[in-house]
Each structure stands twice: as C-alpha cells, then as structure tokens.
Chain A
Amino acid sequence: MMNHLKVKEGKMLEVQFVGDDDVLNHILDKEEGAKFRKDRTQLLVNVKKLMKKQENDLNEDDQEDLKDENYVDILGGDTQESLKNGRVAGSSSKVYSFQTRKNPEKMAELAHELAKTPGKSTSLISKENAEKMANTPQSSKKQSTSDKDQLKSDEKNEFLSTPYRLRKRLTVSTLPSDTESEYSDSNSEDEKGVKQEEEEKINEVMDQKRVVKHKSSSSSCKKVSAKKMKKDTTTDLVEEYFEAHSSSKVLTSDRTLQKLKKTKLDQQTLHNLLSKFSPSFSAELKELNEQHEQLFHKWMLQLHLGFNIVLYGLGSKKELLEKFRASMLQDSIHVVINGFFPGITVKSILNSITEEILDHMGTFRSVLDQLDWIINKFKDDSSLELFLLIHNLDSQMLRGDKSQQILGQLSSLPKIYLIASIDHINAPLMWDHSKQSLYNWLWYETTTYKPYTEETSYENSLLVQQCGTIALSSLTHVFRSLTPNARGIFRLLIKYQLENEDNPSYIGLSFQDFYQQCREAFLVNSDLTLRAQLIEFRDHKLLRTKKGTDGVEYLLIPIDTGTLTDFLEKEEKES
C-alpha cells in the first residue's frame, strides 16, 4: 500500500493530471474500504506535512523559489506546478513515517496565511497557469492540495488579482468541505468505501465548481465581483462573526513554541535584538512626525481656550508628546503620567498633584475628597495653571469608570489642561456622553508608526519571558533577609521540588512530610513555628499552598525549575 502510494506520488510528478476515472478505478481495484480510508488520511497527512515542511525550511524555500522562477521562465506555468509538487514530495519523504493527525482546518488556514504573503518574485505566467488549472480536471485526492498550492503559488508570485474579500470567501467556503470530509472519515469508520467514493465525488465536483468560479471571477471580471462583494459585506461580516463564534471548539494546530525550540526572550535580549533592526521608511516617518509637530501651537491655543486634546492613531505617541512637552511646556507646571505604567492609579496622580504641586502634606479620606480639595484650590487661586500629559489614558489601570470620571472632572477645570493619547481600538467606549462633555475633547489623529517600545515593555507580554530575571533577583533579596533557619527550610523545599522535577503528577510537598524533614534537620521544633515561617514565604509569593484531594495541605514554590536551579547554584557558591 505504502509503496503503491509512493508510486502514485511519483506518477503525479510526471503526469500532472490524472483522470478521475483512472483514480477511481485505481482505488476500486484495492476495494477494501477500511484500508482505503487509511490511505486517504495518510495522504492528507502527507500533504499537510509537506506544507509544514515547506514552512519550516523557509530559507530553503526562498532559494528554491528563485530556482523555480527560472524554471518557470523556461517551462511555463504547468511545469512549475508539478515541479513544486515534486519538490515538496521529495522533501517530505523524511517525515513520512510520523503519522500524527493534524487539524484539517488549521492546515488550510496555514495555507492561507502563506497565501497572504506576497513574495518578492514577479511573474505573470502564474496567471495563465491559474486559468489552465481551472479548466483541467484534477484527481480527487489531489484536489485539496492543488487548490491550496495554487493559492500559494498565486501569492508567491505576487499575483494578488483576487480581491481580498473574495479570496477570503473562497477560503471560507472551501474550509467546511475539507473539514467535512475529514470528519466524515472519522465518523464513518465502518462504512463501505463505495459510499465514501460518492461523497468524494460530490466534494470534488463542488470543489471544482468553486475553483472555476473563483478563477473566472478573478481573471475576467474581478472589478465587478469586487463591487458585488461590497454589497454583501455586511452580511458577510455577520456570517464571519457567527462562523468564528459558532462552535465552542476552534480547530488550530497543536504546535507549541517549545517544540520549535524558540524560547521566550527576555526583555533585555529582545531590546538588544530590536536595536539591531532599523525600521524602513524613516524619511516618510520623519515627514509624518513633522506634520504633527506643526500642530503644537494650535494645541496650546486650544488647550487654553478650554478644550482638551486627545491623540489617536497607530504608533507610539510618547515621543511626540515628549517633544511637545520639551518645546512648549518648559515654563509651566506640568505632570507627565505614564498610563501604561502598571502601578499607576488615580490616587497616585492626585497625590502627585496635591503633594508636589499644591504642597499639601495632609492626607485625604477618599479620592473624591481629594478631588474636591483640588477643585477648590484651583478655584481659589486663579494664578494656578497645570498641564496634564497622560500617555495611554486607556491603559488597564486608568480605563475604569471611576478613574475616568475623576480624570474627567479634573480636566474640566478651566485651569487644568489635559492632553492625552489613546491606543486601544475600543478606547472611546470608556466615555459616555457626560464624561465626554467633562473632557471636552478635541480629537487629533497622529499616526506615527513608532513602535510601542516603552508601552509594551511593562506589559506581561505573550512571548517575552518576564519572570526570569526579576524572580531570581527578588528571590535572592527575600532569601537574604531571612534567618538561617528559615533559609534552611526554604532550601529544603527547593531541593525537594527539584528532585521531583520530572514527576508530572507532583503537586507539592505535604505539610506533614515537610515538617518531618525540617524536624530531622533541626530547623524547627514545632509545626507552629514552621507555619509562622511559611507565612513569610507566602507573603512574598514564594510559596503556594494547595489542598490535595485527600485534604492534606501541599506546598509548592510557584517558580520554574530553571530559576530555582540557578538560585541554588548561586547560593551554594556564595555560602
């Protein structure tokens, strides 16, 4: 069977288009339904892997793409297609033996993702190629692959004639059919092959139809269709929404970063790496920024006339506001507030106003009292003027209703001038009518395309390893402040945890065992003292306790093993 398939694959290399009947006959010869099913999945898997493989060897791909182009130039579109398949098949032979199943949808999705990427090569031949493809009958098994490949080749050659929507639609419409067949596979475990064939036939016909439709519209009347699509946009949107949210299960590939050996970078290395990369279009960016800088005088004028200014648009606005501050606010009292700072609160903003600007040393019962006090102060003293610069007014910490209300009230004072920036797409939803009238915004679009370096540096970003260095340093700090006995206790726990590193079902050290160990090491004399020591760790978030199923308390250090080993090594070196 295997051999046979390989042979078939080989055939495909030479003869691009196998007639349907041939294939069917071929399969019917084999006849056994179950076996056939296996083959089929295998093939699908195979194809998937091919695609994946392709992605993995990106550089290779690009190289080969270049070669392909040459071929294309010489041989024309059809051969390119076959060549590609051939190459892919060849490179896949290594992975062939693994037979993990992948989500079909994810596969298609990946293909689209790839498809979305316009390559550097340019060739119009692929257009012809595409048209030819549309007219040629294709083997049912090859269908899904070729379809995707086709898309892929389109894009690779910067052939983006299909309007985006259309393409999306096409992919959307093909997706279910793919998955369907895949599911039907798993469901119809006991069904006869004949049925499957029928199904397949139907699928195939549908697919072909779709392809033809797609091609014709893309090549000849794309403009018209694009217009038509626009009409459908609204319904499309709705459909898309429900499509995305209909099933609770979303099919995506199971690949994780760990398998890829792409470890999380920490903030510092990330920064270093990025500094090596210089963004393009610096001239245009500069021009864009200069346009914004011309507005400074206007902003000052409008601020003085009772408006407040909010900046929106893609790109970090910190630098722009910083420039504004440097050029316009040198002679006036102003407060810069980093909204993206994770520890920022309205209280701290008000505090810095009352303490540092109004030189008030007392405390306030509540934030509202404080606000009232400030308002009165500003009403009494008409010579007071204050500029507030808030970067990211829409940050996690400030977006709450109460915070916004207070800031709004603050900004509504005639002598407090607020200039703020927002970035989140839903930021305007923070403000209802009454808040908006408090703020009295004038909106300014300042798209800068500047990277949000500082804004994202605080954030617990997805791929940035945050805990590493910070946890280690905090660990050492806490550790040094402990008594020798407590250090011993903690070291015991660490060692125990490291010993059980490889045990997946390890849920922690039970309190009783721990107490026993500590007693044996002469570290504590009663479980009460041990508990007292543990409180210290818990307060520093160095320890977590959990009740097990048997009601016993388990102790766990919520820090990854790498950091712990580092820590132990360091400690042993020092002592």
Chain B
Amino acid sequence: MATSSVSKGCFVFKPDFKRKKVSFPIADYFNEGESFSEDSKLRFDTCQLLWQQMKSEAEELQEELNKSLFDSLIEFLEKSHLEFRKKSTNWNYQIKCREIPTAALVLGVNVTDHDLTFKGLTEMLKDTVTPYVVSLQAKECPDVKHILQKLASQLMGCCIDMESTEEECVQSSQRKMHYSMAFLSTWYRSVTQKTGSESVNKKITSFSHWKESPPIVIILKDIESFSTKVLQDFIIISSQYLHELPIVLVFGIATSPIIIHRLLPQAVSSLCIELLQSLSCKEHLAKLLDKLLLTTQFPFKLNEKALQVLTNIFLYHDFSVQNFIKGLQLAILEHFYSQPLSILCCDLSEAKKRIHSLSEDQCESIRRLPSFMRYVEKQTPEKQVASLTDERFLKEETLRFLEELHSYHENFFLVLKCLHAFTSSLPKYPLGRQIRELYCACLEKNIWESQEYEPALQLLRMLAKDELMAILQKCLEVFKSPPGKQLGGTVEKLQEFLVQFQKLEEIESNEEENGSGSQQKGLQKTDLYHLQKSLLEMKELRSSNKKQTKFEVQRDRVVDFIDNLVRKYLSPPDTQTLYEVVYFTGAHVLREHLNAAPRIALHTALNNPYHYLKNQALKSEDDSIPNVAPDICIAYKLHLECSRLINLVDWSEAFATVVTAAEETDPNSTASEEIKEIIHARFIRAVSELELLGFIKPTKQKTDHVARLTWGGC
C-alpha cells in the first residue's frame, strides 16, 4: 500500500496541478452517486436552505438571549473606571484603586456553548466599548509570563488593526522582548495619547465617551482551569498598575461563584466582583424548541423518539445547546437523504409548485406511504381506484393533505401551548414541567388517553380563581400572538370566560359581605361535639345540594373547554395522512451517530460474532461462542476466565486446544508441526490485537504474563 512505511507516518497526496475544478458540488454526494440528480439536487438545496434558515434563527435567538447579559456587562464596565477617566485624586478613589473591577459571568456547565458566548461578547465589546479586549484560556497560560505575553501580543495585535501596518517591523522586533506590566502601561499611555491627539480613527469615534481611555478588558474564559498561583500573581501585579491601566477582568465560570473564593483565597480582596448570571441552558433549549420546532415556520419536524434521543443527549450528557443544534442538523440531513418525498418538505406555496411536477416514481412512492394507504383503505371504491391510478387526482389529494397538515400543525402548537400554560403550574407536574415533555407525550399518542391526563384535569378543576384567570390570560396571548384566523371562536370564547370571571369577582365581592356575616355566626363558642356535627352537616349540605358556586360552574366549563380543544386538535401526527413527508423518524440513526457506544460494539463483536457475520456456524445460544469463531474472539473468551494476570503459556495452550478442535485436521499428518507453528502465530496475533484494543498489557510482575485491564463482562 502506498500509505505504509516503516520510516514515515504522514503521507501527503496532492492531485495533479491541473486545477480541474477540484471542488465537487456537494450535492453530488447526496444521492449515492447515482444519476437521477435533478430530484436529489432539489432535495439537497431544500435541505440546505431549511438548515440555513433554522441556523440563523437559532443564532438570532442566541444573540437575543445574550443581549441582557451583555447589556448588564456594559453597564458594569461603564461604572467601573469612572474615576480613572476623571483622573480624580480623591481619597476614596485612592483606596478603591487597588481593586480590580471584575465581572463574574456564571455561564453554566455547558462549556461547549461558552465559546459562542465569548465570541459574541468580544465582538460586541470591540464594537461598542473598547478595542482592547483580550481573551485568555487556561491552557495557554501555564504561568504569569505566558499571560503577559498573550496579553501583550493580543493588545498589540488589536493596536495594529487600528493603526494599519505601519509598525509591522517594529512589532516583530518587539515580539522577542520581555513583556512586563510596566511595558504595557507605557504602551497604553502612548496609544491613548496618540488617539487622543489624532482622533482620526473612525472606530474610536464610535466609542464616544470611552474615547479618552478605553478600558482593557481581559476575559478569562475558564477560570476553573487556571492555577491558583498564576492567577493570584497576575491579579496582584495588575492591581499595582491599576492607576495606569484601566483593567477589567471578566471571569467565565462554569460551576458556581464560590469557585472564585476557593481559587483566590487571598487575591480576592483586590477584586471588586460583580456577579452576572446567564440564562440557564434548559431555558435556552426551551426557547430554541419554541423557535425551531413548535412553529409552522419550518416544515421539518421530529417524531417522538428522535426528539427524545436529542433531549436525552442534552439532559444526560452535556447540557449543550450547540450539540442539540448539531443533532438537529443531522436529523434534517438524514431526513432529506433517506426520504425521497422530503422534496415536499418545504413552504406550502413552494410545495404546490413541486406537486405539479412530481414524477411518476414520486407519485408511486406517495401511494406507498403507510399513512396514505391507510387513508385509501377508508375511501369508497371509486375514490380508491382514482387515487391509485389517476395521477392528477393523486396530486390534488396530496396538495390537500399538505394543506391539512399545515393547518393541523398550526392548531396543534396553539393548543399545545395553551395546554402547557394550564398544566405547567400544577403540583407535581403530571404532564411535565417543560413544554418539550408535553410535546413528546402528545407526539407519542393521544394525550387524553395517557394516565396522567385525567389527574391533571382533576387538579385543574381545583384551581383558584386568580390562578385560573392568569392562565386564561396567558392562553389568550398565545392565541392572539400569530395573526390567527384559525381555531375560530376560541379567542372569543376565552375572552368571554375572562369577562365572566371578572363579573364573578364583582358578584363575589358582594357575596363575600354576606358570607362574612354568616361566618360570624359560625364563630360562636362550641364544644368539639357540636363543631364536628356542624362540619358534617355542612359537608352533607355541600354534597347534597350539588349546586356549586357560580365560580365552580364556570371553572368546570373552562376545563371542559380545554379538554375539548385537546381532544380535537392534539391528536398525534401519525394520524395525519402524509405525515411522513415532514416528520423525521430515524431516532436510531441519531443515537448511532451522536451517542455511539464503541465499547459495546467491540464487546458484541468479540462475544457474539454471529451478530456481524451471519454464518450459521457462528450461531450459538447463551454466552458461549463456537470454536470456529475468529481467533481474536476465542482468545478474548479465554482471557475472560482469568483474573488479573494471565499466563501466556496457559493461554496459548488453551487457545491451541480450541483451534485444533475447530480445524479438524488430521493430527497424524506430517504437517502437524507446521500447523502448530501456524496456530502459535495466530495466537500471537490475537494477543497483540487484544493489546492494541486495550484488554491486556504486558507486565513485568511475572515472566511471560500479561495483565488484564478489564474485568467483568467487558
């Protein structure tokens, strides 16, 4: 092979320098390299378009969510070096001057998302506050020297950006010199003076009041991984220079603010910390789902299993919204890749056009959709024939179904949100606290048939009036938010309920006066017996007259109304015809590719080769393997029987026993010696493969022994 050598590990291949349009259109890979590309290209473009839209939507959301955090940070920055700018000399400032203003950003454990936040932060700061933004990572800063070096180079770097490249050569000479805080402060003075006098720079002008002396913002991305000593030294040094350099520190914290005190038991006194909390990742996810999936804006949807997989990865593995988005991207890609009808997974208006140009094959695949077949079966014979034979009729039907699907989704999400408003505040959250849980439940089956639905309604029937009214108000907002013409009458109905409740309030306030009078009667002195008796009577009275208060009647009506809405609109998507077009169903694909289990795969391959090699000879019950299995499987099986150390001799003999038994060679033959040799060689190979896989390692504890690195099954 061209890529194996005993002296080299890297092999570079460059195609001939003809430059003959090296970049293949990616879409070519979309359809397994087959050539009916028209359709696949369209599909791929749709996929890309959809993904781009969703991505930008997600980014927008991210920005929006970060906005409040950033705003408060900027506010903090403004406050921080007020005195410095005024060059004030009062005594109070002199004291404070020893304290570095520090913003502690608590960002949560989803470290992978932080990068994006910091990127946004840096950009925003550079645009609005100061050009001097430095971001440091723990792994770049093993000691103070490195910190200063990084600091200087990044500061100089942004300085270069601003002052064109005039001092390029000076820069390179500076690179080698020793950086110190003193050096930095002289640099800073010269820079600020220069800009102060020239003030030609366009960028600087935008900084308005920062112009005089923009602060130097130092972002420490992962404060937890910095070593205490380095950080402490750095803080002490920089606090000494605070009157010359307006330094502001920003700590990125993944765990909890206490970490600052734990990391910096002494230096903490020279910090003036302000705590800023970012939105929790769970809320972020909820918002993201709301924007991307619980909307009719994007036609693409996940089915219950796929959504479960993605949320499980989120909840049990990393809390990373970015990874969730990545999973979504994969889902979209897979959907368009594997479902030929996904070509219709686009805007309704676009779909109309595409339906007209559907090819015969595509029509056929529509007919083959389970949901469509289910629909056809229910039709009259004439219609059945028509939809199975008449292409035009089929196209009309398809369009109708797509429209239905669209309106189904519109209603579905409205009612879903409405139901969520009702159930999210119930004690113990019978239908889930987050909307995604409720959504999953609704996707899975008829929600009203689930066990939790009845108790939830029971609880709803016990809501107090003000709670109920708040919820109704929320629902009303939900229904009003889109320019909705759907669900005719629901808005009016809700409004009516609200009005009635308000009326009730007035009435009740009147009643209350009466009630208070009656209550006073009850407050007479009684003994226990009488009290019990009267309570019993009251209870009987209540149950017997059954006549609830007006409020209760009204409340029941509201609950019934919601119940009706749910039953009418929240049927799971697989009841809809043509739902396959927009719903991604390959949950296993997501799991395989995003949350793989290499250890299990390895174990299965070693333990049960039949799982991969479908040969009857390899089939076996329970956990044993037949002796004809691949060598490595046999060696593995044998080694499982050993404890920590394995004697190679014994192992090899056991191996040989099994293998010779499998070979069924005639041991009398003269070649037996050679066969033995070969078996030994096979054993050697199996052992070194197991070593490569990490099951054993050589040990010096005993001659010709290897140590086992695993225990138990695997």
Contact = CB atoms under 8 A, between A and B. Distances in A.
Which of A256, A444, A462 has the most chain B CB atoms inside 10 A of its CB? A462
Nearest to B689: A452
Given A119-B661, A301-B26, A253 B647 contact: yes
A449 B605 contact: yes
Contact of A244 (B605, B660, B711): B711
Contact of A302 (B333, B592, B598, B685): B333
Contact of A284 (B330, B613, B648): B613
A112 interface: yes
Which of A171, A297, A427 has the most chain B CB atoms inside 10 A of its CB? A297
A142 interface: no
A461 interface: yes
Contact of B647 (A165, A252, A445): A252
B29 A440 contact: no
A433 B112 contact: yes
Contact of A305 (B26, B595, B645, B711): B26
A294 B32 contact: yes
B612 A455 contact: no
B489 interface: no
B641 A113 contact: yes
Interface string B605-645: 11001001111001011111111101010000110011111
Which of B33, B654, B672 has the most chain A CB atoms inside 10 A of its CB? B654
A364 interface: no
A325 B33 CA distance: 16
Given A274-B682, A335-B10, A253 B650 contact: yes
Contacts of B618: 281
Interface in A422-450: 422-428, 433-434, 436-437, 440, 442-445, 447, 449
Contacts of A270: 681, 684-685
A515 B630 CA distance: 58
B504 interface: no
Q: How large is the interface on A (under 10, 10 to 19, 20 to 34, 35 or more residues)?
A: 35 or more
Nearest to B591: A443
Nearest to A270: B681
B681 A344 contact: no
Interface string B1-32: 10111111111111100001011101001111
A2 interface: no
A443 B693 CA distance: 18
A313 interface: yes
Q: How large is the interface on B (under 10, 10 to 19, 20 to 34, 35 or more residues)?
A: 35 or more
A257 B598 CA distance: 34
Contact of B649 (A118, A257, A283, A294): A257
Interface in B654-682: 654, 656-658, 660-662, 664, 667, 672, 674, 677-678, 680-682
B710 interface: yes
A265 B681 contact: yes
Contact of A252 (B8, B682, B702): B702
Contact of A344 (B10, B595, B626, B667): B10
A83 interface: no
Which of A56, A304, A344, A348 has the most chain B CB atoms inside 10 A of its CB? A304
Given A333-B14, A437-B323, A250 B643 contact: yes
Given A304-B29, A425-B694, A456-B689, A462 B648 contact: yes
A330 B14 CA distance: 9
22 contacts: A62-B661, A106-B650, A109-B643, A116-B654, A160-B620, A160-B621, A164-B622, A226-B622, A255-B704, A270-B685, A274-B682, A279-B630, A331-B22, A335-B13, A338-B4, A385-B23, A449-B613, A452-B688, A454-B4, A456-B689, A461-B691, A463-B684
Interface of B: 1, 3-15, 20, 22-24, 26, 29-33, 110-112, 115, 139-140, 318, 320, 322-323, 326, 329-330, 333, 337, 592-596, 598-599, 601-602, 605-606, 609, 612-615, 618, 620-628, 630, 632, 637-638, 641-654, 656-658, 660-662, 664, 667, 672, 674, 677-678, 680-685, 687-689, 691-695, 698, 701-706, 708, 710-714
